[in-house]
Amino acid sequence: MDFGHVGKEFWHTWWPHNDDQFNTQEFKADLQSVVDALRTGGPLRDLATMRSFCNQNGGKITDDGRSFGYVVDTEHYRYCLRCIPVSGDYQGYLYCYDKRQQELARQDKVVGRVSYADGTTQAFTDPQLYLQTIREELPFHNTTGFRYETLTADPQVRKEVDDIILDFAGEENPRRACGYGLTEKGLQALRDAADPALPHTYAWFVLTDCNTPQEQIHRSLTLGEAIRLYQDSPRPEKRLGVTKDSIATVDIVRTADGEQSFFPDHQKLDSFRSDPTIFEAVERLHQELDAIAIDPSMTM
């Protein structure tokens, strides 16, 4: 939502979610009452009121003082209001959650299931108990008909199951936990990285001699530092990229065998393709690196 050019209007957009299955009449009425209250005596009255409200009540989200957060609870819903009391941008985002659905999501989930030849089955919500059962029953699977099924996507649990099975066979599991995918926390971090309404961090890096014994990586650079380091590096193979929110990484440009090429991956990955900061950075890289790629002896 925003307050228009003069800071006194109120324009808003509704973004559908989950096919609007939770956008019930009950929710609409609850949402309307919350917004009406925030418009009457709260930070959604106008831009000046929002600015004053944020200054008086704290709730700072970002260090630059541009973004503030507040929570409103009703009987069945929770509303998370993000305020940006700055002209020229959206001034508010209101995220709505059904507390009943949240409670259902927090209930214990089955991580694995085991069965036996006599038809006995058992489901586990405790990962450690599931793993312990596999350890104890696996040596007798030929006589008991023991079978297991891992249902969780948690990479650590899936790895530990494979560790047990391979150890029983006298082998060592060559895969690390990261090879089994992301945890739910990691998946949520990726979703957050793709959300244009959230604040983000960017750490640029320069990697040289990738996948060789001479490989070196310079991390946590600003874009300007990365450009200078990339330009000054004499290594025959080098690349420049960025890590966003410490979770999503993409290579932008690479030089190999005397040829420089730009990767299109940032246009395809959810974490980067709608990010104006990345768009502006790629434009700058084209301007500065394409220029030095031209042979200075050539007459244009």
pLDDT digits (tens, 9 = 90+) for 5-51: 889 999 998 887 777 888 889 999 999 999 999 999 899 999 999 99
Whether residue 271 lies inside any domain: the answer is yes
Same domain, 128 and 143: yes
Q: In what order do the strands lie in the sheet with 112-115?
A: 121-124, 112-115, 147-150
Q: How many CB atoms lie within 10 A of CB 134?
A: 20
Close Cβ partners of 19 (under 8 Å, ≥ 6 residues apart): none
Whether residue 7 lies inside any domain: the answer is no
Per-position DSSP letters for 101-143, written without gaps between them: HHHHHHS----EEEE-TTS-EEEES-HHHHHHHHHHHGGGHHH
Same domain, 162 and 73: no
What's the structural domain count of the chain? 3
Q: How far apart are CA 250 and CA 59, in angstroms?
A: 32
How far from chain centre, in Å, is Cα 79?
Answer: 21
Q: Beta strand 237-244 with 121-124: parallel, antiparallel or unpaired?
A: unpaired
Least confident of 9-13, 28-32, 106-110, 190-194: 106-110
- Tell me, what's the pLDDT at 20? 80
| Domain endpoint, select from 51, 78, 105 | 105
**CA-to-CA dists, residue 282 to 237, 262, 264, 265, 267, angstroms:** 20, 9, 10, 12, 10
pTM of the model: 0.43
**Residue range of the domain that includes 34:** 18-105
pLDDT tens-digit map of 214-231: 889 999 999 999 999 999
Whether residue 11 lies inside any domain: the answer is no
Same domain, 152 and 195: no
Same domain, 175 and 195: no
- Mean of pLDDT values over 177-204: 81
- Mean of pLDDT values over 73-101: 90
Whether residue 24 lies inside any domain: the answer is yes
Residues 183 and 156: beta-carbon distance below 8 Å: yes
- Tell me, what's the pLDDT at 277? 94
Close Cβ partners of 230 (under 8 Å, ≥ 6 residues apart): 206, 238, 240, 253, 255, 289
End-to-end CA gap in the chain: 50
- Tell me, what's the pLDDT at 107? 63
Whether residue 12 lies inside any domain: the answer is no
Q: How far apart are CA 58 and CA 85, in angstroms?
A: 13
- Tell me, what's the pLDDT at 106? 64
| Domain endpoint, select from 105, 139, 160 | 105
Residues 111 and 157: beta-carbon distance below 8 Å: yes
Same domain, 45 and 99: yes
Residues 126 and 134: beta-carbon distance below 8 Å: no
Tokens of 163: 């560790």
Q: Which percentage of the chain shows pLDDT scores above 70? A: 92
Confidence of residue 181 (pLDDT cuts 50, 70, 90): low
Q: At what angle do helices 155-168 and 127-137 cross, to 10 degrees?
A: 10
Q: How far apart are CA 237 and CA 261, in angstroms?
A: 12
- Tell me, what's the pLDDT at 199? 94
Same domain, 119 and 36: no
Query: What average pLDDT does the structure give for the chain?
Result: 87
Same domain, 234 and 267: yes
Taking 60 as the threshold, does the pLDDT of residue 299 lie above it?
Answer: no
Q: How far apart are CA 181 and CA 177, in angstroms?
A: 8
Same domain, 55 and 93: yes
Residues 183 and 154: beta-carbon distance below 8 Å: yes
| Domain endpoint, select from 47, 76, 105 | 105
251 sits in which H/E element: strand 248-256
Whether residue 171 lies inside any domain: the answer is yes
Same domain, 118 and 76: no
Whether residue 2 lies inside any domain: the answer is no
Same domain, 124 and 213: no
Same domain, 205 and 174: no
Whether residue 123 lies inside any domain: the answer is yes
Measured over the CA atoms of residue 36, residue 16, residue 274 and residue 220, the dihedral's sign is: positive
Same domain, 119 and 45: no
pLDDT tens-digit map of 246-257: 888 899 999 988
